[in-house]
Amino acid sequence: MTALARAVGQLLTVGFDGPTLPDELRERVATSQVGGVMLFRPNIQAPAQVASLVAAIRAAAPADAPGLVAIDQEGGLVQRLRAPLTVWPDMLSVGGAGSTARTEAVGQALGGELAALGIGWDFAPVLDVHTNPANPVIGNRAFGTTPGAVATHALAFWRGLRAAGLVGCGKHFPGHGDTRTDSHLELPVVDHDLGRLRAIELAPFAAAAAAGIESIMTAHVLYPALDPDRPATLSRRVLTDLLRGQLGFRGVIVSDDLGMKAVADRYPIEELAVQAVAAGADVLLIREPADRQRRAFEALVHGAEADAGLRARVMESAARVAQMKAACRVPMPVAAEQLEARLGTAANRALASSFASVDPRSPVQASPVVDA
């Protein structure tokens, strides 16, 4: 395995099917063809099983490129881990309570349960602003209906995650709160002008960048005012010129899952991988299957071997990933006999139940793939 190929592998965070680590994925983690693994519902049976799975993933990684296990654990509709862990309310209710201290406490308690299982990267907080009650995929996942409320409470939640040792991920840049379609299923378009985008959609991301959040996830959404031709995930104008250049973000830019139909139905995985990295993405999320993950890896290796510009982007991204991994302070999972005392505690359940729903609009229905 060449140094370039090992660097490319650090740009890939992948999923898999089933409750145990497949041998072929273990080998790819061990040889640095994969830098991180993300968990979904099919990977989860019970806390002790999750702890064992996370331990296996992390133990497989080489010492100079530690494995990072990630999960979508927002609260509300999107929380892969549920009872006997604490079941958290939606973040619109948490933010609506108006107490940053309580919001931070939620982040720290939720993060503490993930840390007990050895999970170090939470794909949260949501930085989208809930401005459209008909939005089929964000809705009450957001912390508020104004950019100020979202920035205030999302960053409080993130500080809680950090206190628990995790690294966080703000999403979905440059804003998914006013879409009428679900990017899991088709390509949404947000037609707002630049003035509106800067005032509403971009404001929480600017605040998160200034605060030093470790990673920001892209949206598979087309914003004609920013780039009329390419969705944000594949747009250099959006990722490099705007997020890095204008907003000053220095952390890891993460693609949303490249298997979502908004992009997967329009581009082969080889093109998606190369174009996203060329645009400025540092980590590519590819849930499955393994064949698509391997094809993305090979396309990036071959592309970087032939193109000095792409090679420089790969090395730059691998360095950022290494910095993020170093910022994660989550130890290996606790012993199975200690899990009961760390998960779904009485204090955490009381905190979760103390929030009353504050959204008077019609409840947002989960996308069939949001909580998969």
Domain boundaries, the chain: 3-338
Q: How many Å apart are CA 63 and CA 137, to the nearest integer?
A: 38
- The predicted model scores a pTM of 0.94
Q: Which residue has the tokens 């939640």?
A: 157
CATH architecture of 3-338: Alpha-Beta Barrel (3.20)
Distances (CA, A) of 159 to 38, 104, 107, 129, 207: 22, 6, 7, 19, 13
pLDDT at 350: 97
Residue 227 is a catalytic residue: no
6 alpha-carbon distance from chain centroid = 22
Q: Take residue 38 and report the two structure tokens written for it.
A: 């993300």
pLDDT at 184: 74
Contact 64, 39 (CB under 8 A): no
Nearest residue to 284 (alpha-carbon basis) of 306, 253, 263: 253
Strand positions, DSSP E, 21-142: 36-39, 68-71, 73-75, 78-79, 121-122
pLDDT at 364: 40
- Of the residues 184, 192, 220, 257, only one is catalytic, namely 184
pLDDT at 183: 64
Q: Take residue 365 and report the two structure tokens written for it.
A: 């229905």
- Of the residues 122, 256, 257, 282, only one is catalytic, namely 256
Q: Which residue has the tokens 């005032």?
A: 199
Contacts of 328 (CB under 8 A, 6+ apart): 68, 120, 121, 165, 166, 167
Contact 183, 262 (CB under 8 A): yes
Q: How many Å apart are CA 257 and CA 254, to the nearest integer?
A: 9
pLDDT in tens, the chain (372 residues): 899 999 999 999 999 999 999 999 999 999 999 999 999 999 999 999 999 999 999 999 999 999 999 999 999 999 999 999 999 999 999 999 999 999 999 999 999 999 999 999 999 999 999 998 888 789 899 999 999 999 999 999 999 999 999 999 999 999 988 777 666 767 888 899 999 999 999 999 999 999 999 999 999 999 999 999 999 999 999 999 999 999 999 999 999 999 988 788 889 999 999 999 999 999 999 999 999 999 999 999 999 999 999 999 999 999 999 999 999 999 999 999 999 999 999 999 999 999 976 554 544 444 434 455
Q: Which amino acid is at 51?
A: A
pLDDT at 368: 38
Cis peptide leading into residue 19 (ω within 30°): no
Residue 359 is a catalytic residue: no
